[in-house]
Amino acid sequence: MTDQPKPLASPPGETPIQTPDWVKHAVFYQVFPDRFARSSRIKHLPGLKFKPWGSESIHDGFQGGDLLGVVDKLGYLEELGVNAIYLTPIFTSASTHRYHTYDYLEVDPLLGGDDALRELIDKAHERDMRIVLDGVFNHTGRGFWPFHHILENGGNSPYIDWFTVHDWPLQPYPTEKDIPPNYSCWWNLPALPKLNTNNPAVREYLYEVARHWIKFGIDGWRLDVPHEIDDDDFWRTFRQVVKSENPAAYICGEIWSEARRWLQGDQFDAVMNYLFTGPAISFFAAETYRNDYIHPHLPFEPIEADKFASLIDRMYGYYDWEINFAQMNMLDSHDMARAKWITQDDSALRLCVLFQMTMPGAPCIYYGDEVGMTGGPDPDCRQAFPWHDESLWDYDLLRFYRRAVALRRTHECLRVGELTTLHAEGPVYAFSRNLNGSQAVVAFNTSHERVPVNLKPRHLEGPFKQVWPLESHEGHELSGDELSCTIPPRDAVVLVRGE
């Protein structure tokens, strides 16, 4: 068993860290709009041509998913148990993924425009669902109007200092691939000119974008590569702008590593918690994960429970618990291969999902994972949701997801309860979640054999009820200060009391 880290807290005399309460109770669903659902209610101009739905996933292959398609599937998402939707970029752009923004104040007409976002927000809010947008503020597309102004006017453009130009004439479409762009770009990609956020006009423009969509009704921002705007004052002001319009708005940064710099209560509420992703796959899929899958930010290695517990304890020990409860816990996303493809084993995937649903932090489901969508790195991880062919659906997995999400949403202690490690040895990892007299004990077994385990959770008053797996007849017994139970192979036991 590992030593439990002491959670960080706000220093004496400082304002306590606060994060939006709704996020602590959220189950997110990440939607890649072009590939999630196409609505027949969108009336596009005649003659537009999309790739057939479900065709091969390629970077420049528009398949025509739109925001009304998301509206049409809200009932499906509600049945899944989702109550928050994170949309990858939706503003006008010349790419399927829309990280090449050319107008931050207009929803892409291919997605249905501003009216479609209005309907999505309103219909989602009617179901008590939240909508979080992707903010790409480090770089733009070549079609962004100030960059186009520079292309037309050169150094005479009033917007010359919105970007960093190294030489003339600008070469936005270099004829040779090995010629570096002569202006600052994201990863030296000429299609993505980097904004000069040291320029006061750029800062004010981006703040106004953030303010505009919060006033429009969105519930928060996911921030793309925010570490590349290496300026804490920029993000402090960004937070002030957003929170002044809606104090409950969520600000979540894409930071793949330890993120204490941004999570002190004055910049972001949380990050996409990839520190959760690597250990989960490394432990639950230790025997099956693809060891040939190399991701620059996600090291995988086969580990046993003691190492796993150490990594999880360290992760939670980095931050105040207000932050931990608001972290977006990922198993995969549009920026990595799908979890099913990496784990290569249904039982490993299910263990990962159940772990995600029982730990502190808001779980985020990548669209289609729940029906068994798979795929390697981008673009394979961005295929169309198979509405067109339900024979491709894994209904057993879908039922599992629904049960696991319902488990989390039924028991408040699984969302905001205190975390205590109870056992971490070999194939068994167990912990408890405690909240105001209620308690859940969760014990995972990654081996292929039934494993008996004796645990010593605190507050043993009153009987426990087994809520997972419901179909199992394995018993549990209280004796003195010990709780003994038998964990089925490649499964978990969840016991609750006081609710």
Q: Which of 34, 66, 108, 224 is catalytic?
A: 224
Give the integer Cα–Cα distance in Å for 429 and 358: 13
Distances (CA, A) of 439 to 32, 361, 420, 436, 466: 37, 17, 11, 8, 12
Give the integer Cα–Cα distance in Å for 223 and 117: 19
| Dihedral angle over CA of 348, 353, 354, 357, nearest 10 | 160
In the residue annotation, 219 being an active-site residue is answered as no
Q: Is the peptide bond before 379 cis (omega within 30 degrees of 0)?
A: yes
Q: Which of 134, 219, 254, 370 is catalytic?
A: 254
In the residue annotation, 224 being an active-site residue is answered as yes
Residues with catalytic annotation? 224, 254
